């Protein structure tokens, strides 16, 4: 008998230790409750669809405690909508919560990561990873719009019209009068990355533009995958100081011609009496001088 007793004690100790491990293992999630995808032993939620698709799945909140549990569900990183965001789970029961994941329209093909989080009243959380894969053809397309020439730069906008992110390349040319090339910049990669649907306003410096010319500006943008776009505009450069001086000289000449014409005698008309002498006026006081000044300002 003593020998049989000695054999049973180690066996009972091993069973008791194993029971402790089994009881302790589920408590590792969040002090008696856990969050997991419904069905099987999936470590995460996986959803796949074309842009615009709405995909359905379910998560389970399991309450292994002896008291009711209240949690709030949220989603980050992807567009998640729950059948209910606040869930009350009685003791030792499980609540299944359906939800949807939406693949946004215009999403580029590829994978995106998100998370579903459950938070209880004490601030403790449990999380499930969400992997969303957008499927569909990869389309590389862009446009260049609203090209404008300013004092020392060329402004324009780039728009990604495709489904893939783009790193565009820009080339700039400008031709002056008689087709003379006044600006020629070889293609170079721009330090930007355009997401699908993104619009970006950019400036191209042009500090040494012509002072007097009429130019046609052309921007050519390309990107990997066959994206190509061209847009342009026209501009006239006039040095306003020189233009004002020229206008003043023309106005002065016109006034002089009018004065001379008025001084001529009409054939057959009686001679007018010579004008009475009067003190000479300074050019600033003369009506002709005032006309020249006004014309020059105009």
21 occurs within a structural domain: no
The residue that leads in pLDDT, 164 or 280, is 164
266 occurs within a structural domain: no
Angle at 73 between CA 68 and CA 79, to 5 degrees: 165
Nearest alpha carbon to residue 157 among 109, 190, 108: 190
Q: Other C-beta atoms within 10 Å of 259: how many?
A: 12
Chain-wide mean pLDDT for the chain?
77
Nearest alpha carbon to residue 112 among 53, 58, 198, 48: 48
Quick: pLDDT tens for 146-174. Answer: 999 998 999 999 999 988 889 999 999 99
Query: Residue 230 sits in a domain of what CATH number?
Result: 2.60.40.10
| pTM for the structure as a whole | 0.51
- Strand positions, DSSP E, 140-237: 142-149, 153-160, 169-175, 181-189, 199-205, 213-223, 227-237
Same-domain check for residues 201 and 230: yes
Average pLDDT (251-273) is: 38
280 occurs within a structural domain: no
Same-domain check for residues 59 and 117: yes
Quick: pLDDT tens for 96-117. Answer: 999 999 999 878 788 999 999 9
Same-domain check for residues 151 and 112: no
Same-domain check for residues 174 and 117: no
3 occurs within a structural domain: no
Same-domain check for residues 192 and 99: no
Domain ranges, residue 290:
241-261+285-298
Domains in the chain, number: 3
Average pLDDT (27-38) is: 75
Same-domain check for residues 148 and 231: yes
Mapped onto helix, strand or coil, the DSSP state of residue 231 is strand
pLDDT at 21 over 60: no
């Amino acid at each position: 008998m003593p020998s049989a007793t000695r054999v049973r004690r180690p066996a009972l100790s091993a069973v008791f230790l194993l029971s402790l491990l089994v009881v302790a293992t589920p408590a590792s999630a969040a002090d008696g409750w856990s969050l997991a995808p419904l069905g099987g032993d999936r470590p995460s939620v996986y959803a796949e669809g074309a842009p615009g698709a709405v995909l359905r799945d379910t998560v389970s909140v399991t309450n292994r405690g002896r008291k009711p549990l209240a949690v709030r569900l949220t989603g980050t990183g992807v567009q998640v909508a729950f059948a209910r965001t606040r869930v009350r789970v009685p003791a030792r029961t499980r609540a299944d919560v359906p939800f949807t994941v939406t693949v946004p329209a215009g999403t580029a093909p590829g994978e995106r990561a998100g998370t579903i989080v459950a938070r209880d009243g004490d601030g403790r959380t449990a999380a499930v990873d969400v992997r969303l894969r957008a499927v569909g053809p990869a389309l590389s397309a862009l446009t260049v719009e609203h090209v404008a020439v300013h004092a020392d730069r060329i402004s324009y906008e780039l728009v990604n019209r495709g489904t893939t992110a783009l790193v565009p390349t820009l080339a700039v040319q400008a031709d002056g009068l008689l087709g003379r090339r006044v600006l020629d910049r070889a293609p170079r990669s721009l330090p930007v990355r355009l997401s699908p649907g993104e619009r970006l306003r950019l400036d191209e410096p042009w500090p040494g533009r012509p002072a007097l010319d009429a130019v046609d500006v052309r921007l050519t943008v390309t990107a990997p995958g066959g994206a190509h776009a061209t847009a342009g505009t026209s501009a006239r450069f006039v040095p306003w100081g020189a233009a004002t001086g020229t206008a003043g000289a023309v106005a002065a000449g016109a006034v002089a011609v009018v004065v001379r014409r008025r001084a001529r005698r009409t054939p057959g008309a009686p001679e007018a009496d010579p004008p009475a002498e009067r003190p000479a006026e300074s050019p600033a006081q003369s009506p002709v001088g005032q006309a020249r000044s006004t014309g020059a300002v105009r």
